[in-house]
Amino acid sequence: MGARDEWDVLYKRDDLTVSEVRKVSGNPLLPGEVRLAVERFGLTVNNATYARFGDDSVIAFWRVFPGPPGYGRVPVWGFARVEESRHPGIAVGGRYFGYLPISTHHVVAAEPGDRGFVDITAQRDFLHPWYRTYELVGEPGPLDDRWALLHPVYPAAFNLADLLERQAVLGTQSVVITSASSKVALALVEELAARQVPIRAVGLTADRHTAFVSSLELYDTVVPYASLPSLKVAGPAVFVDLTGDPSRRAAVCERFRGELCRTVLVGFTHPTATVLPPPGLAGPEPEVFFTPAVEAETIAAKGADSYHLRYAASESRFVRYTRSWLDIRGGRGPEAIVDSFRTLIAGEQPPGVSSVLRP
């Protein structure tokens, strides 16, 4: 161990129930590099998704923060402070939000930009800039934990709301959303309501989550997955899938084959999820929704300033709204982190509870 107490949490890439905490001693910085001390990060199934598809997805997430052979560091989003800098444009003490490993520290080769800096480390140049951008942020505030948790996933909800708002103009009557209890899904239906998009929101969720999701009164209809055969929706309808489960996707497409006008594949919450959709889904050709690409298209069409203004207002409203139903639990140190991640991948995290952790 060096002068700092530094460690990584390593996960076995092919078995996420196996983890190990390994002490490390940080190498001296090269010119242009900064050493970030991780302050806190949120955990949602989004992080489990990075790990589950770390080796076989289009984006190989295990390559982002590698570990020893067979192991890797799970990517998370959170706040970090510059502890040491060999970049003349980046001061020690600056606080940033970005993509981090589950570690005490992270070293990046930084290139200052408009909103913070971009990581130009060659090993990560395969990543979309979205994952390499570190946003300069202010000092900690009362909503920081919520923001750390929701800021990484809210863009998916916001951009899906744009898609559905356009669909409503074209006559779409309903949206059917699986994993209706996920943050992305709840943020999407809350945003549709705030924009008064005239579209009926129909949510499918686990039996054990149905009462909770109904109690939020965000959807027009909420039913457990088992009720799909008797569920009716007004067409034309858009299907937004967040489970990634091939049989659920196939069942929804089959049930509403006459009503669906678009099938949008967004998430992978269920452990049975596959990256590629099963072949031969009934109804429209499925579309893979990759938020960074969709957001970049909107920014190119409407301008960055107008997008970011609209986005920030919606995100801020949703983050404040979650105070009424989302219990954020803190934790510190490797044991708390490993325990929270275990709960998450075991599917034991109730939808009204999330973890924000500090190394």
Ligand X SMILES: NC(=O)c1ccc[n+]([C@@H]2O[C@H](COP(=O)([O-])OP(=O)(O)OC[C@H]3O[C@@H](n4cnc5c(N)ncnc54)[C@H](OP(=O)(O)O)[C@@H]3O)[C@@H](O)[C@H]2O)c1
Binding residues for ligand X, rule: CB under 6 A, are 44-46, 49, 153, 156, 179-184, 205-206, 209, 242-243, 266-271, 289-291, 347, 351
Q: Please report how close the Cβ of residue 42 comes to ligand X at its closest, in angstroms.
A: 9
Q: Is the distance from CB of 39 to CB of 80 less than 8 angstroms?
A: yes
Strand segments (E) across the chain: 6-12, 15-24, 33-43, 71-72, 75-85, 95-101, 105-112, 116-119, 133-136, 174-178, 200-205, 221-224, 237-241, 260-265, 286-288, 327-332, 353-358
The rounded Cα 108 to chain-centroid distance in angstroms is: 22
Q: Please report how close the Cβ of residue 168 comes to ligand X at its closest, in angstroms.
A: 21
- Of 85 and 355, nearer to ligand X (C-beta) is 355
Q: Please report how close the Cβ of residue 27 comes to ligand X at its closest, in angstroms.
A: 32
The rounded Cα 347 to chain-centroid distance in angstroms is: 16
Q: Please report how close the Cβ of residue 215 comes to ligand X at its closest, in angstroms.
A: 14
Q: Which among 237, 234, 226 is positioned nearest to 177, based on CA atoms?
A: 237
- Of 107 and 157, nearer to ligand X (C-beta) is 157
- Of 82 and 184, nearer to ligand X (C-beta) is 184
- Of 152 and 236, nearer to ligand X (C-beta) is 152
Q: Please report how close the Cβ of residue 3 comes to ligand X at its closest, in angstroms.
A: 36
- Of 94 and 284, nearer to ligand X (C-beta) is 284
Instruction: State the residue number with the nearest CB to ligand X.
Output: 347
Query: Which residues on neighbouring strands pair with residue 6, listed in sequence order?
Result: 24
In angstroms, the CA 142 to CA 302 distance is 32
- Of 39 and 245, nearer to ligand X (C-beta) is 245
- Of 289 and 321, nearer to ligand X (C-beta) is 289
- Of 167 and 182, nearer to ligand X (C-beta) is 182
Q: Please report how close the Cβ of residue 219 comes to ligand X at its closest, in angstroms.
A: 11
Q: Please report how close the Cβ of residue 109 comes to ligand X at its closest, in angstroms.
A: 26
Q: Please report how close the Cβ of residue 182 comes to ligand X at its closest, in angstroms.
A: 3
DSSP 243: S
Per the structure block, which two tokens stand in for 331?
A: 């934790």
Strand pairing category for 174-178 and 200-205: parallel
Torsion angles phi and psi, residue 249, rounded to 5: -60, -45
Mark out the alpha helices in 135-234 (DSSP H runs).
Answer: 144-150, 154-169, 183-194, 210-215
**Look-up of token digits 């490390």:** 24
Per the structure block, which two tokens stand in for 176?
A: 């059917």
